[in-house]
Amino acid sequence: MTVRLNPDLLPNLLISIQQSKMNEATATNQMASGRSVNQPSEDPAATAALVRNHDQSAQDEQFLKNLNNLRGRFQVADSTMSNIVQVMTRAVTLGTEGANGTLSSTDRQALAGEVLGLLKQTLGLANASYQGAFLFGGTAVNSQPFTLDPATNAVTYSGNSKTTSIQLTTGNFTNANVPGDQLFLNSSGSVFGSLQNLYSALVSGNNVDTAVTEVSSALKQLGTQRVFYGNVLNQINLSESFLNQDKVNLGEQENGLVGADLAAVVANYSQAEVANQATISAAGRILGQKTLLDYMV
């Protein structure tokens, strides 16, 4: 059997030294970053999956920002509705008191004055805004939706009856508003109309009971409409919980894709270091040997 010896081992040794140095550097980077993949070329498949992971995480983050803004808007709207409910409840109390036949005209006028104050207070609440956008004007968010005619105490609506929707999570949409005419000028019970009629009834002393019934009907329909805001706030909370959990899951997925096994990385580093030292030692011995040419003088 013929044994062939490589007469020039130096290039192979240099390649071995370079490889062991690369292995050391890779292990060092993995220990420093805690990641098994620091360059796309190290694992193209894992890198592609990681890109998708980061895209989903960024989408979740944007949804969470949207939800935070939407929550603020709906909390202000719901609080405004709560205040109007209190105003209407007070109006019912005043109307009931004014319906007492023994009440003097002066007393009724005083009650009427307070009801007019409640009407104007409701007007201010119905023109509430959030971050510069009016809440109850339909999609006409840049102009005040309700105006009071001081001569007749009639309220006019300059908004529209349109609604918009917003995406809470992927594929999950909800309405983002209720038009002001549906809330406060509803045919099933008009907030402004009933307050105006109650004021007129107290001033004249006629049909106060009927006016109180109208206010009660408007209060009831207002409570029905207000449920919308509570439902959306619940949806926002549920969506936020889902998105936060999805971000946790994505983090775990990312760790599974590129997270480094530190025990294995340390072992790889030690092996690369030992291999590098052994190769350098072997190269030193080879370079230190004399050849036949050294004796041919």
Query: Do the domain assignments include residue 230?
Result: yes
Higher pLDDT, 22 or 163: 163
**pLDDT per residue over 231-252, tens digit each?**
999 999 999 999 999 888 877 7
Query: What is the average pLDDT score of the chain?
Result: 82
Summarised one tens digit per residue, pLDDT across range 27-58 is: 566 555 555 555 555 567 666 777 787 788 89
- Structural domain harbouring 192: 64-236
For residue 164, the domain's CATH number is 1.20.1330.10
pTM, full prediction: 0.72
The predicted structure's pLDDT at residue 261 = 46
Residues with Cβ < 8 Å from 258, sequence gap 6 or more? Answer: 35, 36, 37, 43, 46, 50
Question: Does residue 251 fall inside a structural domain?
Answer: no
Report the sign of the C-alpha dihedral through residues 77, 79, 81, 84, in that order.
negative
Task: Say if residue 130's pLDDT is above 60.
Answer: yes
Position 27 in a domain: no
Q: Which whole number is the average pLDDT over 271-278?
A: 60
Judged against a pLDDT cut of 80, whether residue 152 lies above it is answered with: yes
What's the number of domains the chain is made of?
A: 1
* Residue 15, domain member (yes or no): no
Q: CA of 157: how far to CAs of 92, 139, 269, in Å?
A: 24, 13, 75
Handedness of CA 143, 144, 150, 153 (dihedral sign): positive
> pLDDT confidence of 87, banded at 50, 70, 90?
very high
Q: Is residue 143 part of a domain?
A: yes
